[in-house]
Every structure is written in structure tokens, then in C-alpha cells.
Amino acid sequence: MANILDSEASVEAAVVADALEKFLELNDPKEMTYEEFRGAQFDHGLAWVQFDKGSGGLGVSPVFQRQVEASLQASGAKPMQPAMFFMHLAGPTIHTHGDDANKKRFLRPMFTGEERWCQLFSEPGAGSDFAGLATRAIADGEEWVVNGQKVWNTMAHLGDWGMLVTRTNPEVPKHRGLTYFAVDMHSDGVEVRPLRQITGEAEFNEVYLTDARVPDSNRIGDVGDGWRVSLTTLMNERNAIGVGGGGAPKTGSGPVSLLTKLWREKSEEDRDAVTLDTMMKLYVRSEAQRLTNMRAVANSRKGNPGPEMSIAKLAFAELNKDVLSTAVDMMGMSGQTGFDYTFRRPEDLSVDGSESGIQHGFLRVRANSIEGGTSEIMRNILGEQVLGLPGEPRVDKDVAWIEVPRN
């Protein structure tokens, strides 16, 4: 079996290397716009290498995507714009569950950045209990009329399209009455309102849908199959947050780089053995996570990530909080003052917040243990689906959604 897998990997490596060589012969990132270059990358099957040919891929293992990104950046290509983060969620979902028309319509402009995406999942009454959502979609001919409210919608103010999950059948148990759509964020009946965070910015939003009309052609997956489609989005979200995309991360990168930089800038008399020991433990944890994530990517096969990726997401959230809390402590009183809380609508997304400095990162990473599934939910998933431990009692699992008592 090992020989067969090695042989397949060798063949796939040759396919990727050949595609890369031909692509770079014809396309120079220094002479093309960002969108032009990424469009050509898609057309050559180097957008998501694990996708089918014609849909931005080569049909090979996703392990080769980091190799592709590293090679392209070495040739002068610009990295993915941070605000395009949600292509890591929407792309695999549409490729897995969408029909040919969905793939043709959405994948290429999503990858080039011509159309940005956001996620419309959580609701005021359905956060961790996502399947209990109440946003209704009612069929009206070849369209669906949608009414409801979504919340904690990251970068929705920049979104052209939203990944929308609705309840289309309230007469069945909650997991079976959901349907997944791509909704035009600029259409009538879609209103985006800012949610100001402790950083001062409004990266998060709430979205109101009032008689918004969505064509049935924008449905992703079958009617009533929205839960299964959503799981693909959620698993890829946890993978994108915990492991990240693009090329392999460098040694000492991420939030821990702020901590080590701060230590180097300290004078000898301001350094002490206790702080050094704490910093080195965090550095070792950061490196262990980075290398573990690289190994997970190297071992990945075709298909979408599984529940085990909750490990990476959980570790990411806990490590970031510990690193940036230590960094603020090292700053002393200066870490408590001088931060700009001015209200603003960010144009880019930094999941760990480190790109805007220690104080911003310290405040932003509070969200890491909530977004993409809370740390408590991650532990439940790992316990039940990875370790095989007994699940928590769920008394409403087999009850029709409409019959479940609500406040």
C-alpha cells in the first residue's frame, strides 16, 4: 500500500511541476495585474490543485498547494489579499456540493478577488447551536424569499456574495430542514450593519434579510441538505483558521514574532530569567504547532478536512491568547495606554490581529476562541468524533424544529 501511495504521489508531483513550469513560462506576475495573474493561475489548475480540472484544479492531493504558493511567491507573485479569506470556505463548499453552473459562475471570480465572500451562519438565537437557526426561506416559483437576521458576519461590509444557511422546512428536526444558498449581498432586502468590537473597529457585522429574493439557481446542494453542506464550510473554516493557507509559515512567524521582537528590544537590565523562560515555552509551543500543522497538510489526501482539524483551531486560539497576553505584560504600563479605539471599518482581515501590533492583537485574539466554533465546541467535537467519547444529551435532536420551546 505504501508503495502505491508513493507512486501516486510521484505522479501527482510531476503533474504539478509540469503545470507550474508551463504557467510561469506564459505568465509573469511582474507584468500582470493581481486579478489577471490569479485568473491565469485558476485557468492552469493551480488555484485549488485538489479540485477537478476545469474548476481551478488538477485533481491531485491538496498537499501540493503550499508548494504551488511558495513557487509563485518566489517568482514575484503577490500573496492572497487578506480580505479574500472566505474563498477558503466558499470554494471547497461550492466545488463539493454545487452543480456545474455554480462552479462555473462562482469559483473563478472568487479566486481572482473580483468577488469577495462572507459567511452568514450564526444568529442571535443560534450560535453554538447553529442547527437551531430561524432564518426562513420560502419557495416562490423559481426564487426563495428570505427573512431573518444573521450576526458576527466577518467582513460582510465588503462582501459581494454571502454563504447563507436558512430553514426551509420547520416541520422536521432542526438538522434536516436547512438549505444552503449563495446570496447577492447587493440585492434588495439585504442590509449590513456594523458591530463595533473592543478594538474599536467593526470587522464583524449583523445582516438583516427582509423579503430578500434568491434564485433557486443559487442554491448550493439539495433542498434540506444544508446541514451537510454547512459542515464542509465549517471544517474548511477551522482548517483555514488553525492551519492557514498559502505557503508554509516561516519559523517564528505569527504572534510569537511580536513577543520575541519585544524581548530583543529590551535593555539587559529590563530582562529577567522568569520572563525569558515564559517566552521560550511559548516559542516552543508555537513551533510545535507550526510543524504539526505542516505535517497535517503533508498527510492530507483529496477531499475536505475532517473533525480532527478542530485540534489545530483550538490550539491556535489558546496559543494566540497566551502569547499576546504575555507580550502585553512585558510592555508594562505602556501596554495599557496609547491604543487608538477610533471607530473604523477595516479593509483587510488579520485573524490573529498581530499585523496591527501587540495591543490590537491582544484584543483581537479574544475572538479566536469564538469564531469558527467556540473552544468548548471544538472540545466536544474532538471528544465525540475523534476520541469516540459519549456525546452530550441532546433532547431536541429528533423533535420537529417548530415544536422546540424557545424564549
Instruction: Identify the CATH number of the domain defined by range 117-226.
Output: 2.40.110.10
Say what the pLDDT of residue 247 is. Answer: 52
The Cα 214–Cα 183 span in angstroms is 6
Kindly give the parts of the chain with pLDDT less than 50: 1-2, 4
Give the SS3 label for residue 386: helix
Please enumerate in sequence order all residues whose Cβ is within 8 A of that of 306, keeping only pairs 6 or more positions apart, or say none.
235
Please enumerate in sequence order all residues whose Cβ is within 8 A of that of 104, keeping only pairs 6 or more positions apart, or say none.
none
* Span between the terminal Cα atoms of the chain, in Å: 55
Give the SS3 label for residue 307: coil
Could you tell me which of 213, 233, 235 has the C-alpha nearest to residue 225? 233
Say what the pLDDT of residue 396 is. Answer: 84
For 253-299, the DSSP string reads -SHHHHHHHHHHHS-GGG--HHHHHHHHHHHHHHHHHHHHHHHHHHT
The Cα 308–Cα 293 span in angstroms is 11
Give the SS3 label for residue 207: strand
Range 39-74 burial, b when 16+ CB lie within 10 A, else e: bbbbebbbbbbbbeeebbbbebbbbbbbbbbebbee
pLDDT digits (tens, 9 = 90+) for 354-392: 788 899 999 999 999 988 888 998 899 889 888 899 988
Could you tell me which of 108, 246, 85 has the C-alpha nearest to residue 154? 85
pLDDT digits (tens, 9 = 90+) for 213-255: 999 999 999 999 999 999 999 988 888 887 765 555 677 788 8
For this structure, is 203 an active site residue? no
- Topology match between the domains 117-226 and 231-386: no
Say what the pLDDT of residue 407 is. Answer: 66
Give the SS3 label for residue 251: coil
| Contact (CB, 8 A) for 83 and 155 | yes
| Contact (CB, 8 A) for 109 and 148 | no
The Cα 81–Cα 35 span in angstroms is 11
Residue written as grid cell 416541520:
171
The domain locations on the chain are: 2-79, 117-226, 231-386
Say what the pLDDT of residue 1 is. Answer: 47
389-to-226, 307, 382, 386 alpha-carbon distances in Å: 26, 14, 9, 8
Please enumerate in sequence order all residues whose Cβ is within 8 A of that of 365, keeping only pairs 6 or more positions apart, or say none.
255, 317, 320, 321, 324, 352, 353
| CB atoms closer than 10 angstroms to residue 172 | 17
Q: Could you tell me where the DSSP H helices lie in 126-206?
A: none
310-to-259, 296, 368 alpha-carbon distances in Å: 26, 12, 13
The Cα 328–Cα 319 span in angstroms is 14
Class of domain 231-386: mainly alpha
Please enumerate in sequence order all residues whose Cβ is within 8 A of that of 26, keeping only pairs 6 or more positions apart, or say none.
40
DSSP state letter for 383? I
The Cα 86–Cα 2 span in angstroms is 35
Quick one: cell of 405? 420551546
Could you tell me which of 125, 169, 190 has the C-alpha nearest to residue 151? 125
SS3 content of the chain, % helix, strand, coil (to 5): 50, 15, 35
Answer positive or negative: Cα dihedral of 333, 335, 338, 341.
negative
Quick one: cell of 172? 422536521
Catalytic residue among 12, 115, 206, 237: 237
Backbone angles phi, psi at 202, to 5 degrees: -125, 75
Please enumerate in sequence order all residues whose Cβ is within 8 A of that of 83, keeping only pairs 6 or more positions apart, or say none.
116, 155, 158, 347, 348, 349
